[in-house]
A and B are shown apart, each in its own frame.
Chain A
Amino acid sequence: MPLEGLKGRKALVTGAASGIGASIVERLKREGVHVFATDIHPVADSLVADLTNSEEVEKLSAKVGTPDFLINVAGGPVAPTRAQTLPALPSKSLLLEDVDEREWSGVIAANLTTAFLVCREFAPRMKARRFGRIVNFASIAARRGSDRVGVHYAAAKGGIIGLTKTLALELGPHNITVNAIAPGFIKTPRIEAAEWGNASPGFIEGLPLKRAGKPDDIAGVVAMLCSEAGGYVSGATIDVNGGWYFGP
């Protein structure tokens, strides 16, 4: 059975060029959703924008109009730049003293400011329409902490959870749901390319579901939240981690 409430709707997916974002684009298209994809990393059929810059967010919104579904995937443990739009992930754990102020600001901006600016741009239009589904991306790094990705990423993703709960309260009266997904270990091509992408067999065996996640595992939950099944779910952070950690 196809999911109810998706066909014919319009979605904007940020961070759509690769990994989880790309998988969400494919999934929503399969459900008959008209999808706008955006990323700082240029790929075919996507709108290039640096979402840490409010002017670029405004330009993007002129092209997109009012989406029904806003899926804020943009982010990652390393901030992209114009020169390096899809930066490689570090091969080692990032310790507190290794994070300088520039990296701190960059990662907060790439993960948290982007979601803030994009929500601020599109939510008023959703309010005018009295319909919207916003899905933000937190991380297991915000739920259990992380011994890998660094404090900046964990802090930014924790910020996403606060932003999500606050927007759920603020936008609820306008029939807009706001939720977050907190993925666990998801084997995206970028993670696979990093050294720690090859998680030890012991780690994988220790997960209740005994496997790493796939981008499609996340796309299914996004589709669920946009469908009828997500109609009364708001303010929630949903852990999709194979049983690794039972937040909050």
Chain B
Amino acid sequence: MKVAIVTGGAKPDSIGHEVVLRLLKEGMQVVVADLYEEGFPSLRQCTCVRCDVADPASVEEMIGKAMQAFGRIDVLANCVGGSWGITRKDLIASPPLGFRGLTNCSLEDWRTIVAANLDSVFYCTRAAAPHLKKQGGAIVNVASVAARKGIPPGSEGSSGPYAVAKAGVMGLTRQLALELGPFGVRVNCVAPGVIASGRLKRVMALTGKERGPEGPFSTIPMQRVGTVDECAALIVALCTDDTSYMTGVTVDVNGAAYAA
């Protein structure tokens, strides 16, 4: 049986959580790595591991537990991310008010956001890669449309460091595709636009209904936000043989809001 690790899979109404449910339906064993332990009881079919993906020791321990439990890793979906709600103390908080651009964010903002969004993917991939290389497999990272076009000043709920870290995730995806391709490990990425996750709902509660971090919804050509289901289905497709000749690719999923 194939074994998948999903980081950031425990919070309900998140992309990661929906990825977990879909990988279970694909018949995989799923290890959920998350700080949000409150979500663990509802994921009884999974092996849930408390993990701070911004801490390399915590990541090593999590991968060790997965290997101990199942002896192999076939899929790694790096779904942890965000400008807020990424440390244990603000996991279920509302977004901080005010725009945090590169020129006005605190050094702590920069370090925390880059650690959760970019360092985390590096740590998880490095720890999982030796096991993935044994039989081949797939890694899927989650970037953002913010990496393509930046976050406009004045936006609530996202940040400049986030846009930069997610661009780093795209570069990391390409680099790892070169390094792991020869071992039959494909590495791809999705770059979501505005997705109707729990996190968006909390931003909307703050800003009024029709606006996400990247601007008003009316500017999206498809005239709607994406669903967690659509985004998760795409991530899962990138884990399966349907995409067997794709590697190093970032698939934009943004309702035609930005065509790279």
| A residues neighboring B (CB under 8 Å) | 1, 3-4, 164-165, 168-169, 172-173, 175, 177-178, 184, 207-210, 213-214, 217-218, 220-221, 223-224, 227-243, 246, 248
Contacts and interface: CB of A to CB of B under 8 A. Distances in A.
B247 A232 contact: no
Given A228-B233, A229-B236, A233-B252, A173 B223 contact: yes
Interface of B: 25-27, 174, 177-178, 180-182, 184, 186, 193, 195, 220-223, 226-227, 229-231, 233-234, 236-237, 241-249, 251-256, 258-260
Contact of A232 (B26, B178, B184, B230): B230
Nearest to B191: A236
B229 A234 contact: no
Contacts of B229: 228, 231
11 contacts: A172-B256, A175-B222, A210-B181, A224-B237, A227-B237, A229-B233, A232-B227, A233-B252, A235-B221, A242-B247, A248-B260
B239 to A, nearest CB: 11
Given A220-B242, A238-B251, 15 more contacts: A164-B259, A173-B223, A177-B256, A208-B180, A209-B182, A209-B184, A220-B241, A228-B229, A229-B233, A230-B230, A234-B255, A235-B258, A236-B252, A236-B260, A239-B246
Contacts of B258: 235
Most chain B CB within a 10 A radius of its CB, from A177, A232, A243, A246 = A232
A220 B253 contact: no
Contact of A220 (B186, B244, B260): B244
A225 to B, nearest CB: 9
A231 B242 contact: no
Nearest to A236: B252
Given A232-B253, A239-B249, A208 B178 contact: yes
Contacts, number: 133
A171 B256 CA distance: 10
Contacts of A172: 220-223, 255-256
B251 A207 contact: no
Q: Which 3 A-B pairs have the closest CB atoms?
A: A208-B181, A172-B221, A235-B259
B231 A232 contact: yes
Contacts of B231: 232
Nearest to A231: B230
A162 to B, nearest CB: 10
A209 B222 contact: no
Contact of A229 (B25, B186, B237, B248): B237
B237 A1 contact: no
B259 to A, nearest CB: 3
Contacts of B227: 231-232
Given A169-B256, A173-B222, A234-B256, A224 B234 contact: yes
Nearest to B225: A232
Contact of B226 (A169, A231, A246): A231
Nearest to A207: B181
A234 B247 CA distance: 20
A178 B256 CA distance: 9
